[in-house]
Structure 1
Amino acid sequence: MSKLAARQAPLLGVALERELQRLLAVESFEPSAEFRAQALITDESVYEEAERDYEGWWARQAGELLDWIAPWHTVLDQSDAPNYRWFLGGRLNASYNCLDRHVLAGRGERVAYHWHGQLGEERAVTYAELLHEAEALAAGLRARGIGAGDVVAIYMPMVPEVVAAMLACARIGAPHNVVFLGSSPQTLHQQLSYSEAVGLITVDGALQRDATRAVKQEIDPVLDELASLETVIVRRHREASCPMRPGRDLWWDEAVAAGGGSCPPESLDAEHPLFLLYTSGSTGKPKVVVHSTGGYLTGVHWTSKYVFDLKPESDVFWCTADAGWVTGHSYSTYGPLMNGVTSMMYEGPPDHPHRAIWWELVERSRVTVLYTAPTIIRSFISWGAELPAGYDLSSLRLLGTVGEPINPKAWLWYRTVIGGGRCPIVDTWWQTETGAMLIAPLPGVVATKPGAAGRPLPAILPEVLDDDGDPVLGEQGALVLRRPWPSMLRTLYKENERYRQTYFGRFDDRSYFGRFAEPAYYVGDAARVDADGHFWIEGRVDDVITVGSERLPSARIESAIVAHPKVAEAGVIGLRDRERGQIACAFVTLVGDTQGSPQLEQEIREVVLERLGEAAVPRRIVWAVDLAKTRSGKIMRRLLRNVAYGLDPGDVTTLRDPRVMDDLERSFAAVVATESPESRPAPQPAK
């Protein structure tokens, strides 16, 4: 334990619980005078300026933040709305904006990434080194006949080369399709087949905790089935068995040697596709989102800089998201690099080789800004505050959350235990489709409320609507966005009509479009907005339980359950009930070594009753070791429902740990076995 950590005598056990209960009564937290004094934005006028002329405001941001090869002649083209186009006529290159301009300005020796491997390895990669790597690989891709418009897939662990691969593609205008390394070979095949990828960049092997996975050897059978795939470039990473097919496969260094090293950045239209990215597919058919270059970079650059209050000269930024997810694209890669910031990258999971590895890395690299998911925070809570208390986290000055709503108690634990009570928390709402944050606090301006996403960012205009398409205040409704923004998706790959109907057709038959000059983007999330203009995200619209005449968001019940000090996490679903229509069923994980008991069940029900009323009280509580969550941390309530009704879960390869399904089924069956037949839920209707 460091001397500083010991001297601070961190709150633990009962003292911590008392402090969290005290803080739950605090409605909001103003920016401290110390933080405000050094913040990049401290004035409310930024909101007013953006609202007066949002197109002009975005144009100024794009002009000030990015280097353009040619200027645009039209800021926003709405002639084919909702297929919006931004910065028409403008030309630029993403790789140049992330790398070349920093090197040309004399900042090439600044570290771009502090990389840490699972075996204790460390590397510091400078901007100049990353540029050299990306340019050399881009030349190698071009030598293989790959150019603008050709899709290149990337299937790699979190190593600096995954960033080099993304920027190599961006350099020549080849849209990249990063596939999360934890995805199955079948998922990889599905994505490459659909996108008709001509190239794939991967590794020989990667670590899965203590075991080496022979990645290339494992995926070879599905690669052989892809007619469009002409080039496979393999980076040596873990010395795994790696058969190579002549004519198609080559090592990274061979590709670089064949390219000759030099590859100037391609001049690309602002609307040129930068990347394709599959949504998690937690419900229904997966969607393939297409993001542009100019608009996407504008939104990501601005939000990275001002929401995280980034200072390139002093900050060490750690976005813990994998490059296979949109957060890894926007805030592990493009955002920090455009800002010229030093980032940290860790190859492994948060509990390997031990449960305090993150705090060890924060202390070692002096991380100043940490951005992670609520599901990981809840895991830390279950492991106990003693782990982070053993490390010096005083370098941290700002904390962020992403991926799902965070309940107030977890928010306060994060602020108190990890942030030492001094760090502002920016809870950020956005989606794969939005490209960048849309609702989040500006930490030097806005008071933050535990559990709330906060106020919309400048130039963003959200609204909450009831079932009839009318705006509501203080009540739950459907979240919509009333005007376009630069970083929004341009279409769904090969499915433009699905794009128009999915995101802009929700209120079409209720005359909603007629109220505004522009179509409204339907988010699919349930939300409410309070009297201060703060938005509270309450899960997906479909994740609502109807008990009698009451409609209760699953996320709100989950938040009430985790307010109990012995609860780490909860996933709530609705089960059909013969009398009430539905009842709430909660899958609950507990803190540390806590064991489930009838007494604890009753305590949880009392907490929910006190906070939300009788209708929200879960009639069934299932103790679980873990919940069914995607690798990005989202609870798959659909799979919890499948467990409850004995349905085939289908493809579970997107789960963080597919083995959890067996545990959930056993736990649920054990609960059912103790009940009378009359108390069991009504059968699931046939599909």
Structure 2
Amino acid sequence: MTLTYAIGSTNNVEATDVVVGPLEDAARNANLTDYESVYRRSIEDPQGFWAEAAQALHWFEPFHTVLDESNAPFYKWFVGGKTNMAYNALDRHVQTWRKNKVALIWESEDGIVRTYTYWQLYRDVNKFANVLKSLGVRKGDRVAIYTGRCPEQAIAMLACARIGAVHTVVYGGLSTEALRSRIEDAHAKVLVVADGSLLNGKIVKLKEIADQAVDHAPSIETCVVIKRTGHDVDIRNGRDYWWHELMSLPIASARCESEPLDAEDPFFIIYTSGSTGKPKGVVHTLGGYMVDVYTTLKYVLDFKEEDTLFCTSDAGWIVGHSIVLYGPLMHGITTLMYEGAPAYPYPDRWWHLIERHGVTLMFTAPTGVRGLMRYGDAWPKRRDLSTLRLLACAGEPLNPEAWRWFYEVIGQRRCPVIDNWWQTETSRPMISNFASLPMKPGSCAFPVPGVALDIVDEQGQSVPPGVEGALVITRPWPSMLRTIYGDDQRYIDQYWSRYPGKYLTGDAAKRDADGYMWIIGRTDDVIKVSGYRLGTAEVESALVSHPAVAEAAVIGLPHPVRGNAIHAFVLLRAGYSPSEELANELKAHVGKVMGPIAKPETISFPPTLPKTRSGKIMRRVLRAQALGEPLGDLSTMEG
């Protein structure tokens, strides 16, 4: 397909008309060069497709059934197989020339760099696995991890995987109540916690937060404390032990055999917040997660042996599990973990990391792209970004203007932008562009091989191209969530009851005439104005396309005539100031881009927007504040 690059044109080109690429070098060398045939095979013969994919990894005992659908929606994958994630992420490689290849690079916010080869990481994981055993942790026990981004976070996760303990990683910096509720819900036995971590030049006092949480979490028997910042913390005799002291004892042998685990054994619990009520403990099992993440990332991120991957997420989120840790290590590449904030001490920190460590793949969130775009082009242009070959983004729709900046300024028009859509519940990208395909800015393109999806109306019937509807997954996939921890009925009610036999994603989407997918936003983020359905993401994208706007969030509020009216909250770029004149200009701009029906009723200019700590705008909080309603679960909101 020829390049019809039109972003930045003065011709008011619609986003769906903009096609970029494919980029010749990336397409020629891609792992997935024939998307259509691979995807078709995965849909026509899913059992054969996944059985073949599983052979790339190590099994202590082979599976006898690829998919057991007898108790839907409690599907089982690779039934009868026994395997181990730590073995596939480490042992496989230390038996080859990769033994002394760098597996993990860690850089702290204050510039400390630590590296681990596959052999060194393997030994430390074995040692901590033996430490956990000495503390009474057995297969199936839950271990909570609350550390900030540090090497010990990865080591603790892999050590749990090695012995069959179930880890639940909590974002370092969530509140005392958020940590307590997750520990309590999971009935965690051990807490791995850092004394603190650095963020924007300040110490986040993790141990202090953890002490308050554990005081009200009686399931915790032991806390293992990592000395990261070295500030004074309270060490309670009989409960708290220093990581470095335990790792120096004879109990911490560097030999620990991987436990052969059943493919359907619980692997980890990861919490995601709902609009009301307590957070949901999403349960993922071992075999399906392992095979699916390995296979999907080979296609989506186009892993090569020589790659160094920099993913900006934290393991408190699913992206950190799959992209920072398990995905790259299963593939035997190098993963870079960064502790701190993207703009500290200067707005080129990420770009400096890429230059310093020769990063080839970058994975981040749209909020990160938009946030750094606010500082202009000069900061990234100070750095050598020539090692980059692929850029990836997920979390929210990547609006076309941010896409353009990512592609032109960071990727220098050399790197495919792999926009992809997924969820905590799916554990890996479900819709994505690929290095061998043309890109449409703002679209996440096509279903990943192995994913059968549809867009349906309120009656569950497929809608034609150009019509918005509910995005559903029509078949089970290996890395799917198995349940909500301790609440099977909530799992059924939330995901499988609206359209029987179909998984409800909770997102609205549409296909264009070329088959490209466009995520509109959460179905509760669709505003109906005078009978017209308007996605918040579309209105926000229109606002952000104005040169004054860095970021925007819109909500719908009741209106006596139109049913709902659009209210916008706008963060401005440097050099612009709030004014009534600018608000009117932005309203007119949205009307020009989307039509008069989409013009906001009001525009305000707050200093910040409420976001989760993974960077997603919490529109429901804005709506609740405006209506004077309860704010719901705030455990994942930024402090």
Structure 1 segment 179-198 matched on structure 2, within 5 A: 179-198=170-189
**Which has the higher mean CA deviation after the structures are superposed, 644-653 or 619-628?**
644-653
Match of 2:586 among 588, 604, 627: 604
Asked whether the 8 Å contact 2:130–2:253 carries over to 1, the reply is yes
Report the CA distance between 1:412 and its aligned residue: 1.3
Q: Is 2:463 the counterpart of 1:472? A: yes
Match of 2:331 among 339, 346, 352: 339
Closer, same or farther in 2 for the Cα pair 1:324/1:19, shift >3 Å?
farther
Partner of 2:556: 574
Match of 1:633 among 594, 597, 615: 615
Asked whether the 8 Å contact 1:24–1:409 carries over to 2, the reply is no
**Which has the higher mean CA deviation after the structures are superposed, 258-267 or 124-133?**
258-267
Report the CA distance between 1:266 and its aligned residue: 0.3
Measured in 2, the distance between the counterparts of 1:20 and 1:103 equals 56
Measured in 2, the distance between the counterparts of 1:440 and 1:25 equals 16
Match of 2:301 among 308, 314, 322: 308
Partner of 2:39: 47
Matched residue SS, 2:100:
coil
Residue segments in structure 2 that go unaligned for 5+ positions in a row: 1-6
Measured in 2, the distance between the counterparts of 1:283 and 1:452 equals 30
Measured in 2, the distance between the counterparts of 1:554 and 1:212 equals 36
**Which has the higher mean CA deviation after the structures are superposed, 574-583 or 148-157?**
574-583
Please tell me the residue identity of whatever aligns with 2:279: P
The C-alpha deviation readout for 1:563-622, integer Å capped at 9, x for no partner, is 111111110001111111111000001111311223322221222112222221001000
Report the CA distance between 1:158 and its aligned residue: 0.7
Partner of 1:84: 75
Closer, same or farther in 2 for the Cα pair 1:23/1:581, shift >3 Å?
closer
Matched residue SS, 2:269:
strand
Count of matched residue pairs: 630
Q: Is 2:596 the counterpart of 1:614? A: yes
Asked whether the 8 Å contact 1:282–1:636 carries over to 2, the reply is no
Asked whether the 8 Å contact 2:278–2:633 carries over to 1, the reply is no
Partner of 1:162: 153
User: Kindly, what percent of the aligned residue pairs are identical?
Assistant: 45
Matched residue SS, 1:311:
coil
Report the CA distance between 1:21 and its aligned residue: 7.2
Measured in 2, the distance between the counterparts of 1:18 and 1:45 equals 35
Please tell me the residue identity of whatever aligns with 1:371: F
Report the CA distance between 1:282 and its aligned residue: 4.8
**Which has the higher mean CA deviation after the structures are superposed, 480-489 or 110-119?**
110-119
**Which has the higher mean CA deviation after the structures are superposed, 224-233 or 427-436?**
224-233
Match of 1:240 among 218, 224, 231: 231
The C-alpha deviation readout for 1:74-132, integer Å capped at 9, x for no partner, is 00000000100000000000011111110111312111122111111111211111111
Matched residue SS, 2:568:
strand
Report the CA distance between 1:37 and its aligned residue: 2.0
**Which has the higher mean CA deviation after the structures are superposed, 482-491 or 251-260?**
251-260
Q: Is 2:441 the counterpart of 1:450? A: yes
**Which has the higher mean CA deviation after the structures are superposed, 624-633 or 24-33?**
24-33
Report the CA distance between 1:222 and its aligned residue: 2.5
Partner of 2:109: 118
Asked whether the 8 Å contact 2:452–2:474 carries over to 1, the reply is yes
Asked whether the 8 Å contact 1:23–1:412 carries over to 2, the reply is no
Partner of 1:415: 407
Report the CA distance between 1:212 and its aligned residue: 2.4
Q: CA RMSD in A?
A: 1.8
Match of 1:327 among 319, 323, 328: 319
Report the CA distance between 1:24 and its aligned residue: 5.8
Measured in 1, the distance between the counterparts of 2:213 and 2:392 equals 38
Please tell me the residue identity of whatever aligns with 1:87: F
Closer, same or farther in 2 for the Cα pair 1:94/1:19, shift >3 Å?
farther
Report the CA distance between 1:23 and its aligned residue: 10
Q: Is 2:211 the counterpart of 1:220? A: yes
Please tell me the residue identity of whatever aligns with 1:536: W
Q: Is 2:124 the counterpart of 1:142? A: no
Asked whether the 8 Å contact 2:16–2:440 carries over to 1, the reply is no
Matched residue SS, 2:96:
helix
Asked whether the 8 Å contact 2:15–2:442 carries over to 1, the reply is no
Match of 1:266 among 259, 263, 270: 259
The C-alpha deviation readout for 1:353-392, integer Å capped at 9, x for no partner, is 2111111111111111111000111111211112111111
The C-alpha deviation readout for 1:34-87, integer Å capped at 9, x for no partner, is 1122212212321222122011101111112x1111100000000000100000
Report the CA distance between 1:209 and its aligned residue: 2.3
Q: TM-score, normalised by structure 1?
A: 0.89
Report the CA distance between 1:653 and its aligned residue: 4.8
Measured in 2, the distance between the counterparts of 1:453 and 1:260 equals 46
Matched residue SS, 1:108:
helix
The C-alpha deviation readout for 1:280-329, integer Å capped at 9, x for no partner, is 335554211000001001111112222111112x2111111001000000
Matched residue SS, 1:468:
coil
Partner of 1:70: 61
Asked whether the 8 Å contact 1:68–1:91 carries over to 2, the reply is yes
Measured in 1, the distance between the counterparts of 2:559 and 2:277 equals 25
Asked whether the 8 Å contact 1:214–1:241 carries over to 2, the reply is no
Report the CA distance between 1:210 and its aligned residue: 2.2
Closer, same or farther in 2 for the Cα pair 1:284/1:341, shift >3 Å?
same
Match of 2:487 among 482, 492, 495: 495
Closer, same or farther in 2 for the Cα pair 1:357/1:282, shift >3 Å?
farther
Q: Is 2:401 the counterpart of 1:372? A: no
Asked whether the 8 Å contact 1:20–1:412 carries over to 2, the reply is no
Report the CA distance between 1:193 and its aligned residue: 0.9
Asked whether the 8 Å contact 1:142–1:259 carries over to 2, the reply is no
Residue segments in structure 1 that go unaligned for 5+ positions in a row: 1-15, 508-512, 514-518, 659-687
Match of 1:538 among 502, 505, 520: 520
Closer, same or farther in 2 for the Cα pair 1:24/1:76, shift >3 Å?
closer
Q: Is 2:546 the counterpart of 1:564? A: yes
Structure 1 segment 480-559 matched on structure 2, within 5 A: 480-507=472-499, 513=500, 519-559=501-541
The C-alpha deviation readout for 1:472-494, integer Å capped at 9, x for no partner, is 02111100000010000011100
Asked whether the 8 Å contact 2:275–2:632 carries over to 1, the reply is no
Q: TM-score, normalised by structure 2?
A: 0.95
